[in-house]
Homo-oligomer: A and B are copies of this chain.
Amino acid sequence: MEERNIVLRELMKLGPADIAEILEDLDQDQAADLVHRLFLRKAAAEPLGEMDPDDSAELVVHLDRKEASQILSRMDPDDAADLLLELPDDIQKELLSRLSRADAKILTNLLAYPPDSAGGLMSPEVVPLSLSMSAQDAINHLRKRVQEAETVYYAYAVDDDNHLLGVLSLRDVALADPNRSLRDLVIRDAVSVHVTSDAEDVANMFDKYNYYALPVVDDDNKLLGVITFDDIIDVIREEATEDIYGLASVPSEESVDTTWARSLVLRLPWLYVRLLTALAAALVVGLFEVTIAKVAALAVLMGIIAGQAGSAGMQTVTIITRGMALGELDRDLGWKLLGKETLLGVANGMLIGATVGLITYLWKGELLMGIAVFLAMTVNMIVAGASGVAIPVIVKKLGKDPALVSGIFLTTITDMLGFGLMFVIAMWLMPGI
A318 within 8 A of B: yes
- Proximity bits, A250-268, B CB within 8 Å = 1, else 0: 1000111101100110011
Within 8 A of B (CB), among A232-256: 232-234, 236-237, 240-241, 243-245, 247-250, 254-256
Contact of A275 with B244 in the complex, beta carbons under 8 Å:
no
Contact B285 A303 (CB under 8 A): yes
Interchain CB contact under 8 A, B210 and A17: yes
Q: Is the C-beta of A271 less than 8 angstroms from some C-beta in chain B? A: yes
Known A21-B208, A240-B236, A299-B299; contact A247-B319, beta-carbon cutoff 8 A? no
Chain A: interface secondary structure? helix
Q: With a CB–CB cut-off of 8 A, which chain B residues contact A207?
A: 233-234, 237
What is the CB-to-nearest-CB distance from A358 to chain B, in angstroms, rounded to a whole number?
12
Residues of B within 8 A of A170 (CB): 153, 170-171, 174
Tell me the minimal C-beta distance from A349 to chain B in angstroms. Answer: 10
Q: 4 smallest A-B Cβ distances: which pairs?
A: A240-B240, A299-B299, A174-B174, A256-B323
6 additional contacts (CB under 8 A) given A207-B234, A236-B237, A264-B348: A170-B170, A232-B233, A240-B243, A241-B322, A248-B311, A282-B301
A/B interface sample: 30 pairs, CB < 8 A = A139-B174, A139-B175, A210-B230, A229-B229, A233-B233, A244-B318, A244-B322, A249-B311, A255-B322, A256-B320, A256-B323, A256-B328, A259-B340, A260-B347, A263-B340, A268-B351, A271-B312, A271-B352, A272-B355, A275-B304, A275-B352, A278-B304, A278-B308, A282-B304, A285-B300, A289-B296, A292-B292, A292-B296, A292-B299, A303-B303
